Amino acid sequence: MSTRERDMPVSAREIPPQVWQLDAASLSDANKALRILPRELRPYSRGIRMVGRAVTVAASGDLVPVLAGLGQCGAGDILVVDAGTTEHAVLGELFATEAVRRGVAGIVVYGLCRDTATLSQLPLPIYALGTIPRAVGATRLGATQQPIRLGDVEVRPGEILVGDDDGIVVLTDTELDAALETAETIQRREGRIRSAIHDGTSLFEQLNFAEHVENLQAGRPSSLAFTVE
């Protein structure tokens, strides 16, 4: 990384294109200390892949802050909303359609949405806790582009989110730089192992399982590991 890149604002740095090829699981395996958003956040459609930088909103149970956050989103951004309510929806079909028009890379709502028949058909990854037909009001100001908490996990403006069907990993640029090569190696290796299984080679031929169990039974330090590169 160049000195100029290090001095850029977080949101100005490009995300390495190879991140689009990585699964959330591979990144998590590369660094088990990475933040994972609450598992209750589920996507409205399957087979998705989401990569982008966070634009954060603390909605305080109102639509005005969510619209303000959307207005700050550009192509490649991910709108991340702490809804502040589980009694009303803070996102629907018109909002999401505008996000598609803007080239937004995804929406994560720690709260509820509605118009799910439309949301599930849009070319836009959307995660939420659930659905309800009742909408929030639009009478209060909230905060945008400040650190927010989704459950026990803090998300800061400009941080990188990588999501798929399994869930969402949150990383700083430094964390991504450190995990990227290892995650790529893990994913390539697992692809080769999966191909070998399809070709008839047992998974157990590619693991140190028997040795690992023997060590555990003997009280010796041991780690379960693949025996192939």
Range of the domain at 92: 3-172
The domain total for the chain is 1
* DSSP letter string, 67-133: HHHHHT--TTEEEEEE-S-SSSB---HHHHHHHHHHT--EEEEEEEE--HHHHTTSSS-EEEEEE-S
Question: Would residue 60 count as lying in a domain?
Answer: yes
Write down the pLDDT at residue 229: 75
At 3-60, the pLDDT tens digits run 333 333 445 589 999 999 999 999 999 999 999 999 999 999 999 999 999 999 999 9
Question: Would residue 199 count as lying in a domain?
Answer: no
What's the CATH number where 106 sits?
3.50.30.40
Question: Would residue 221 count as lying in a domain?
Answer: no
For residue 57, with 0-12 CB atoms within 10 Å meaning exposed, 13-18 middle and 19 or more buried, which class applies?
buried
Question: Would residue 203 count as lying in a domain?
Answer: no
Question: Would residue 79 count as lying in a domain?
Answer: yes
Question: Would residue 90 count as lying in a domain?
Answer: yes
Nearest to 132 by CA among 79, 167, 83: 83
Question: Would residue 111 count as lying in a domain?
Answer: yes
The CA distance from 147 to 149, in Å, is: 7
Question: Would residue 122 count as lying in a domain?
Answer: yes
At 90-132, the pLDDT tens digits run 999 999 999 999 999 999 999 999 999 999 999 999 999 999 9
Write down the pLDDT at residue 227: 87
